Amino acid sequence: MTVNSGPLLKMFDYSLSELSTAERLAIPSPDPPLAEAHLPLAERSSTREYIPVCEPDLDPSVTYDLQKCVDENWISSGGRFVTEFETRFAQIIGTKHCIATSSGTTALQLLLAACGVSGGDEVIIPAFTMVAVASAVVHLGARPVFVDCSPDSENIDLDGILKKITDRTKAIIVVHTYGRPFDVETLQSNVDRNRVAVIEDVAESHGAKLKGRTTGSLGYGGAFSFYANKIITTGEGGAVTTDNDSLASVCRTLRDHAFSLERHFWHRYRGYNFRMTNLQAAVGVSQLMQFDKLREARKRIAARYSEALDGLDGVILPVEDEETEHAFWVYFIRIDSDTLTRDDVRLELANNGIETRTAFIPLHLQPAYREYCDKNENFKHAEHLSATGLYLPSSSKLTSAELDYICQSLQETIRSLLKSPFK
């Protein structure tokens, strides 16, 4: 069968040859290939051939709740586990409402839609973040406005936000990047909250706190992801949190095709199918029951890394301050040295069976979103983070032996590369 090359297929017919030399040079190098572990187990402190950067930490009791879904023959949305998950999660975050969704991306898009974001509007977002933030904006017909990172943080720069606000600004999305809380309170004190909605992307900061308040309760609304690599997971899934009754009501309506209560199959508004299933929620309830344990495990891992890597030449560690409590979704470091590169370190760790992950490629360098950015605009901090950053294995399931092995491998790798005459 022959498929005609229509407009949609042509849209994806993308080639680097179409880019100018300058544009090609601006695209970061791909991740180096991960070599297979070559050290025998007898020579390691770790007990695994390969340590992944992240993996789910599921309690065995989850099978009991999943079996309940099957026994009760309720596996789609609207089951009792969805209600229980929403109630429990709202209590943990400290908000009046939680609206469970099918993913973090749909949670963010639902929240933007409920705030009235549409064609012609502008939404300020970080240049250094996951692409889902930009896609949620663009799919509503709005324009993403990129802002660079703060010079001393992976988070969006506060002064940069304020400079980008215009009459068309409808919302500002702040991401608590890698688990480090952004100062939402200071931002909200500097914007007209009756006109501009401050939205938190809390995908990476489950349980993080700013001045004692949990992320997801600080802005007009929060959007969570429960993807498999998150601190709390439902496999795929997300949620909106808010204290605003009207916003919560609109989110619940739009989440379910905007079905009307006044008449069956009657729709006054254009909604979505962004629902969480009962099966996903059952996994989520089990996760919430061990939330404190999962958070403490992340803190334990971060403390061990900080202790082992502090003072190591060329390695910049994550920063905490007195007013924040870092979630440490992942332990993000930077390799910033004239004599070795992030990719050198990453490849050596891979040879030792340790997976790492490079930092985000900034949105202004993405082919899909270049049209929203002035080519002359500078995002030097985002680009520097992208070129030097990586995160280490951070699963709450990591054992002390595995942590010791990772720390020892990283110490030996850095010292060896710094001494190498070929660097």
Looking up tokens 């695994």 gives 48
Distance in angstroms (rounded) separating the CA atoms of residues 100 and 240: 6
Residue type, 122: E
Strands 315-316 and 213-214, by their bridges, are unpaired
**Which SS3 state, helix, strand or coil, does residue 331 take?**
strand
Which residue in 164, 170, 230, 423 is the catalytic one? Answer: 230
Distance in angstroms (rounded) separating the CA atoms of residues 171 and 160: 15
Distance in angstroms (rounded) separating the CA atoms of residues 407 and 412: 9
Q: Which residues of 295-332 are buried (b: 16+ CB within 10 A; e: fewer)?
A: bebbeebbebbeebbeebebbebbeeeeebbbbbbbbb
**Which SS3 state, helix, strand or coil, does residue 115 take?**
coil
Dihedral (CA of 220, 215, 112, 166) sign: positive
Q: In what order do the strands lie in the sheet with 209-210?
A: 213-214, 209-210, 324-325
Distance in angstroms (rounded) separating the CA atoms of residues 261 and 315: 57
Distance in angstroms (rounded) separating the CA atoms of residues 231 and 224: 11
Written as six digits, the tokens of 93 are 């975050």
- Write the CA distances from 198 to 95, 172, 180, 225, 302, integer angstroms: 16, 5, 17, 18, 29
The verdict on whether 230 is a catalytic residue reads yes
Q: Which residues are catalytic?
A: 230
